[in-house]
Amino acid sequence: MAEAEKAAYIFPGQGAQYVGMGKDLYDAFDSAKTVFNQADEAVGFSLSKLCFEGPEDELKQTVNAQPAIVTLSLALLAAMRDTCAENNLPAPSLVAGHSLGEYTALAAAGVLDFPTAIFLTRKRGELMHQAGQQNPGGMAAVIGLEESMLAELCSQTGAKIANINCPGQLVISGGKECVAAASSAAEEKGASRVVQLQVSGAFHTDFMQPAVEGLAEVIDTITFNDSFIPIVANTSAAEITAAEDIKDELLRQLCHSVQWQRSMEYMINSGITGFMEIGPGRVLGGLMRRINRDVKTKNIGDAEAINNLKQ
């Protein structure tokens, strides 16, 4: 990524986790090791061991996957900042995170310190899991259908669009019968594929309202700073920097759609010419290719990627 480019950092959400993630980073960079050790202390158990060794069934549980992904993303960020020269690591003009990844963005922008961001995502995961048990539901990815058509099908079936990721990739959420009905209707209307997601609830719908109430109580105990880098919010695809607006966004996000495509379009229209996807997996880079092929996305997901940045 050239120095002259206007850069943004973006951070992945739940589903990007995998067993073994972060072990190379932990071994290679003291700054990353510090983040993992802080995470273990923040959540009260060896989250680092769960990341490095699994088992997979435990790692992918909402209560564990959420702090694990944020921990690795922040460990990567810490190692980048600690080891890369300024010309290899352009300062971000904007940051954003996909759903859970918004918490990583907050830490990157100085709203929360790293341990607090990890603690808060652990609480978020617990509350979302509990809300899913209280209000059972499900989610499905719908591939190859226009947003307007899917919105019409959701209005007919009682499902809701939870994620607008990129052209042709949307996620629906709601009661299991509603999601099943909307999934069948989407296939009948020409969706190329519908994939039921392995999640513990109907995220980004009113089914998460109990989590909103619980998270509000936790947030009230935490000091939030104003952001020193503008954050492009999931629910509005607009910039926020004030601490109170950020708190509102975290609560609103639980029950409202993630406007990822519009967020990326906003950033591009604001002059961003290069994105750094910091965290496990390459999902966001794949979405970006569907949103705008002319924009470069560099993935930073392991120690090798950071060593390549240094050169």
270 belongs to the catalytic site: no
Which residues have CB under 8 Å from 287's CB, separation 6+? 165, 166, 169, 260, 261, 264
- CA 11 vs CA 121, 178, 205, 300: distances in Å: 14, 30, 22, 10
3-state secondary structure of 302: coil
Nearest residue to 255 via CA among 174, 182, 198 = 174
Contacts with 117 (C-beta within 8 Å, 6 or more apart), sequence order: 70, 74, 103, 104, 106, 107
**Set 99, 200, 227, 257: catalytic member:** 99
Is the preceding omega at residue 167 within 30 degrees of 0, hence cis?
Answer: no
* Options 204, 256, 257, 263, the catalytic residue: 204
**Tokens of residue 205, six digits:** 């719908």
Are the beta carbons of 231 and 241 closer than 8 angstroms?
Answer: yes
Which amino acid belongs to residue 20?
A: G
**Type of residue found at 138:** G
Chain mean position to CA 46: 22
Q: Which residues are catalytic?
A: 99, 204
